[in-house]
Amino acid sequence: MMKKQYAFVSMMTVATVGLAACGGSADKDSSKKDEFSVAMVADKGGIDDKSFNQSAWEGLQAYGKENQLKKNEGYSYLQSKSQQDYQPNLSRLARSGEDLVFGIGNTFNEDIETVSKQFKDTQFAIVDNVVPGKNVTSITFKENEGAYLAGIVAAMQTKTDHIGFVGGMKMDVIERFRAGFEAGAKSVNPKIKVDVQYAEDFAAPEKGQAIAAGMYGKGADIIFPAAGGTGNGVFTEAKNRKKNGEDVSVIGVDRDQKEEGMPEDVTLTSVIKRVDRAVEDTANAAKNGKLTGGKTIRYGLKEQGVDLVESDKLSKETLKKVEQAKKAVIKGETVVPEQ
C-alpha cells in the first residue's frame, strides 16, 4: 500500500525535574559517570505495544543511534508491570544518575509530580499530560485535530453510515480523540451513527476485541480505537471478520498501524502522533543544554505533530476532503472541539 507520512517540525523544550525516591534520600548516585544519559519508563502496555510506548522507545533508539550510543550506555528504559511500578521506576532512574527521565503516558502525572520535587537536579519530561514544576516539561498533542481527519475518512468511506470509537479510558487525552472523531464524521454526515465505548484499560486486547465484536455486530463497519495495546484487540476482531467475508476496517492510532491489519489488510489509515520525534528531539535538546523547564508544548496539524497516513484505500474524493479540512484547521477557519 502506498502511503505518505507528513513531515514533522520539531519544536521541543524540556525541563529540569526531580523524581521522587522510594524511601531514603533523594540524592543521585555519586558514582554515576559524567556522560549525559537519558531513560524512559514505559507504562504497563510495554515497548512492543505497537502504539504509544513503542513509538516513544523508537524515538529514544533514534536518539541513541544519532549520538552513537549503545542501549544501556547512554539511553535505556524500564518496563512497568502495573501503575504501582511507576513511582519506584522513576525514582530508581533518578537516583542512578540519569540526566533526563521520561514518563510515557498520561497516567504518570501524579508520580512524576511527586518524584520531581525530590530530584531537583534531574530533568523530567512527561508525554501526553501536563505536570507543574520548574524541572518538568510537558509534551502534549492536539489529538482532536488528527482525529477530526479520521472522522472525515470514516464518514466518507463507511457503507453503513455507522462507525465506532473505542477509548482506553475516559480522560482528557482520549476525549480529545473522541470529540475530534465525532466532529469530523458529523461534518460530512450529521446523521451518522457513532458508537462510543471505553475499555477502562490500555493493556487489555481481549477487552478491545469484545467491544469491537459488539460494534461490528450491530452494524458499524469502521472502528477507531484510541486505547493503546487494548486497540490491538480491535484489529484482531476485524481480521477475523474479514476472513469470514465481512467488509470491516480499523483506523489506527499513534503510529502507522498498517502492519497490524495484515495480512487481511483491514487498516484503512492511521492517525499519527509523532511521539518518536518528540522524545528524540527532547533528548537532544537536554543533551545540548537547550532545555528550559516549567513549559507545556502542544503539537497539532500546524506544527506537523499529528497527521493522517495517506493510503490508496482512500478514494480521491476522500483525500480531497481531508486535505481541505486540514488546511481549514491550520488556517484557524475550523476549530476542532476537544470535549
State in words which class domain 3-142+274-299 has.
Answer: alpha beta
Domain 3-142+274-299 identical in fold to domain 143-272+307-330: yes
Question: How is residue 113 written as a grid cell?
Answer: 509530580
The pLDDT score that the predictor gives to residue 17 is 33
The pLDDT score that the predictor gives to residue 27 is 52
State the DSSP H helix or E strand holding residue 65, giving kind and residue range, or none if neither.
helix 52-66
Average pLDDT of the segment spanning 19-31: 41
Average pLDDT of the segment spanning 185-214: 98
* Per-residue pLDDT at 48 exceeds 50: yes
Domain ranges of the chain: 3-142+274-299, 143-272+307-330
What is the second-level CATH architecture of the domain 143-272+307-330? Answer: 3-Layer(aba) Sandwich (3.40)
pLDDT band at 84 (very low <50, low <70, confident <90, very high): very high
Cis peptide before 190 (omega within 30 of 0): no
* Per-residue pLDDT at 143 exceeds 80: yes
d(CA 164, CA 223): 4
pLDDT tens figures, 253-296: 988 999 999 999 999 999 999 999 899 989 999 999 988 889 99
Lowest mean pLDDT across 45-59, 102-116, 139-153: 45-59
Lowest mean pLDDT across 111-115, 154-158, 292-296: 292-296
Locus of grid cell 506537523: 304
Question: How is residue 93 written as a grid cell?
Answer: 532512574
Query: Which one, of 56, 136, 45, 49, lies nearest residue 86 by Cα?
Result: 45
pLDDT band at 240 (very low <50, low <70, confident <90, very high): very high
297, 285 Cβ separation under 8 angstroms: no
* Per-residue pLDDT at 39 exceeds 50: yes
DSSP-derived secondary structure for 202-244: SS-HHHHHHHHHHHHHTT--EEEEE-GGGGHHHHHHHHHHHHT
Question: How is residue 298 written as a grid cell?
Answer: 502542544
Mean pLDDT of the chain: 90
